[in-house]
Amino acid sequence: MSVVDQVAKNGASTQGQNGAAVAANGAGGLSNLFTTLLVAQIKNQDPLSPQDPSQFVSQLAQLSQVEAMQKMASQGQTSAGMLASLQLMTLGAQVGSTLQARVEALQLDKSPLPLHFTLDSASPVNTLVLTGSDGSERRVELGSLGAGEQAYTLDPVKLGLGKGRYELRLETPDKRVVALEARTQLQGVRLAADGSVMLQLAGAGEVSSQSITQFKGRDAARS
């Protein structure tokens, strides 16, 4: 077994038993372990059949690659954490602003909610379908629509929709995929357990920060 293989084996065992210590020592702990095993390998090699010195050089090169990969992974995690924190602070300063975001589901209350979508070509029949948590569907016929940006105000009271979560989609005769966007107010921002930044939208529930398509400002009137 080569030194690098032994390092990997011992490193896995050490991580299981002393994860905190390995994290603290980082690549330095791996280098120390490699040096110890390398010295042991040299001392215990067969004098009548010594190992080729080039093998030690090759093993050292492999270790350098492993350390470089570890450093890159660690730096990537650090950068991702810093980016998420920066995004959290930036979006936190926008609480109270009006924005537009892609939505596939809505947490409706009694407040009307402006929806926007874009058709790349005219469509003779368009149906907004809302599916409740119980599986029931409410179909809203939007009629014939031309190409370009379209708007529709979803009024839960007029449609007889109770409070709750609804999945939504737009159906067209040609089965095209149409992204729906909600225009509403940003009420809060939080950092999820997986590191993603989540937004709480008035009348719409929670969406990922990556769903934002437009910021309208604090004083923009909803349309």
Q: What is the pLDDT of residues 79-119, one digit of tens each?
A: 666 666 676 677 778 888 899 999 999 999 888 999 999 99
Quickly count: other Cβ atoms within 10 Å of residue 47's Cβ. 5
Average pLDDT score over the chain: 78
Amino acid letter, residue 136: S
Quickly count: other Cβ atoms within 10 Å of residue 90's Cβ. 12
Q: What are phi and psi of 210, to 5 degrees?
A: -70, -10
Q: State if pTM tops 0.75.
A: no
Give the domains, in start order, of the chain with CATH numbers.
Answer: 3-87 (no CATH), 98-217 (2.60.40.4070)
Q: What is the pLDDT of residues 132-177, one digit of tens each?
A: 999 999 999 999 999 999 999 999 999 999 999 999 999 999 999 9
pLDDT grade for 192, boundaries at 50, 70 and 90: confident
Look at residues 139, 123, 6 and name the one whose alpha carbon lies nearest to residue 63: 6
Q: What is the pLDDT of residues 72-89, one digit of tens each?
A: 777 666 666 666 667 667
